């Protein structure tokens, strides 16, 4: 908490990204305002979030210290779950596109991998796979706090790349409403899906969040953790591309870019399980996972170069 007059007094690059994303969503809401039953409350929420970001910046401006500087970044990380849930509020007024993705999946593979993968794997794989899916959260925390504690001079770079990646995915989710197999297949019915029937869902998911039962060992510990997380924070949104795969890919690249690459090596098994899990638990089409990987790689290098050559902080 010692006063540090050399501490940056302006907005951090990550804060500028957050405020820019909020402005983008305000404009999106204004263009679709009449379709939102709670449009006014959504607009008010954005100004509240922007006010919180600005208030924490102002406190640090008046009391410049390293602790408050890191609090500003941690606040942006804490807001990510709100931003994710908010994509559902934004894209639910747009026509759903799952019928196209399910059709592409069928043409590409000749079947639906999200319906067949858990059948093809032995039952004992259920818990490791659910562990992999759940591991995104500790993976993000591990890499984030590693840079904060062990490589503080590179913390702002790593946090910028991480946060920018999430915002990049959220922009895609806002504009491309895909809910994933667990919601779409429940809407169509498994018999229809297996017969290759992929009807348009329109704005069905504006009023329905019904999904398929999750496959695997329902008595498993990590099955329960993932199920609890889905029940509290999962919405029919954000399926394409898979941010789970994309953000985990960015985490792996940040881990390999650190001075202690043993962290990345230890995370490889969890990363592989995570990528398989996105399709196994029917949260994503295989296309989502594949595109999520390449999107994550692209975001990492784009945002890393932007930070480096833009001389951001």
How many angstroms separate the CA atoms of 215 and 281, rounded? 6
pTM of the model: 0.93
User: 293: exposed, middle or buried (C-beta count within 10 Å: 0-12, 13-18, 19+)?
Assistant: middle
* Cβ atoms of 170 and 21 closer than 8 Å: yes
User: Each residue of 124-140: pLDDT tens digit?
Assistant: 999 999 999 999 989 99
Segment 286-298 mean pLDDT: 97
User: Each residue of 33-85: pLDDT tens digit?
Assistant: 777 778 789 999 999 999 999 999 999 988 888 888 899 999 999 999 999 99
pLDDT of residue 239: 94
How many angstroms separate the CA atoms of 167 and 163, rounded? 6
User: Each residue of 141-191: pLDDT tens digit?
Assistant: 999 999 989 998 899 999 999 999 999 999 999 999 999 999 999 999 999
User: Each residue of 209-260: pLDDT tens digit?
Assistant: 889 988 988 888 999 989 888 777 778 899 999 999 999 999 999 999 998 8
User: Each residue of 74-123: pLDDT tens digit?
Assistant: 999 999 999 999 999 888 888 999 999 999 999 999 999 999 999 999 98
pLDDT of residue 312: 63
How many angstroms separate the CA atoms of 180 and 240, rounded? 8
pLDDT of residue 308: 83
């Amino acid at each position: 908490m010692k006063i540090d007059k050399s501490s940056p007094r302006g907005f951090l690059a990550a804060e500028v990204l957050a405020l820019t994303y909020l402005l983008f969503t305000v404009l999106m809401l204004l263009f679709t305002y009449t379709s939102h039953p709670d449009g006014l409350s959504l607009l008010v929420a954005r100004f509240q979030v922007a006010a919180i970001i600005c208030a924490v910046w102002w406190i640090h401006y008046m009391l410049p210290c390293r602790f408050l500087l890191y609090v500003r970044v941690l606040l942006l990380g804490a807001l990510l779950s709100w931003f994710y849930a908010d994509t559902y509020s934004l894209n639910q007024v747009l026509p759903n596109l799952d019928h196209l993705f399910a059709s592409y999946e069928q043409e590409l593979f000749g079947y639906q991998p999200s319906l067949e993968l858990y059948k093809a794997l032995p039952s004992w794989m259920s818990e490791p796979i659910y562990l992999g899916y759940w591991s995104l959260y500790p993976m993000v925390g591990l890499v984030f706090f590693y840079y904060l504690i062990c490589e503080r001079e590179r913390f702002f770079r790593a946090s910028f790349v991480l946060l920018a990646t999430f915002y990049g995915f959220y922009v895609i989710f806002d504009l491309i409403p895909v809910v994933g197999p667990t919601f779409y297949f429940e809407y169509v019915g498994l018999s229809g899906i297996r017969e290759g029937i992929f009807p348009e869902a329109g704005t069905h998911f504006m009023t329905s969040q019904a999904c398929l039962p999750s496959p695997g060992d329902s008595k498993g510990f990590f099955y329960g953790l993932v199920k609890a997380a889905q029940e509290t924070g999962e919405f029919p949104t954000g399926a394409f591309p898979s941010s789970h795969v994309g953000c985990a890919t960015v985490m792996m690249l940040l881990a390999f870019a650190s001075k202690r690459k043993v962290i990345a090596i230890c995370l490889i098994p969890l990363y592989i399980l995570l990528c398989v899990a996105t399709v196994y638990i029917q949260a994503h089409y295989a296309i989502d996972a594949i595109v999520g990987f390449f999107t994550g790689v692209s975001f990492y290098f784009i945002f890393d170069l932007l930070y480096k050559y833009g001389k951001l902080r």
